[in-house]
Amino acid sequence: VQLQASGGGSVQPGDSLRLSCAASRRPYSRYYMGWFRQAPGKGREFVAVIAWSGKTYYADFVKGRFTISRDNDKNSMYLQMDSLKPEDTAVYFCAAGGPALDDGSSSFEDDYDHWGQGTLVTVSS
């Protein structure tokens, strides 16, 4: 299974971006998908996850600004990022994990076994 992330770019503070992630095929019958990011000089951190059912969980620093969604028919996931801040500058990675028994999900990297290549988001004035 290959994941392809896209939609990154350079924007100004307060702007919006929409990231997309497409899986080449369904990795499991049911699976969760998540976004992680890695800022320059820092480790990778959890951003948001969406369960098969559509239940969502967010890192505190993006609550109210980012919205994760998915289209199971297209094996795709999205991240709508609004009110972007300079500290959101990072490479954003999409990932898929499973099998999602009981509609589970995870915010831990080790629980994901399929990763995209990352897309760069730069927020600067």
In this prediction, residue 91 carries a pLDDT of: 98
In this prediction, residue 16 carries a pLDDT of: 98
**Spatial contact of 20 and 121, defined as CB atoms under 8 Å apart:** no
User: Using CA atoms in the order 3, 99, 19, 44, what is the torsion angle rounded to 10 degrees?
Assistant: -90
**CA pseudo-torsion sign 44, 48, 51, 57:** positive
Mean pLDDT, contiguous 10-residue spans, the chain (125 residues): 96 98 94 97 97 96 96 97 98 95 92 96 97
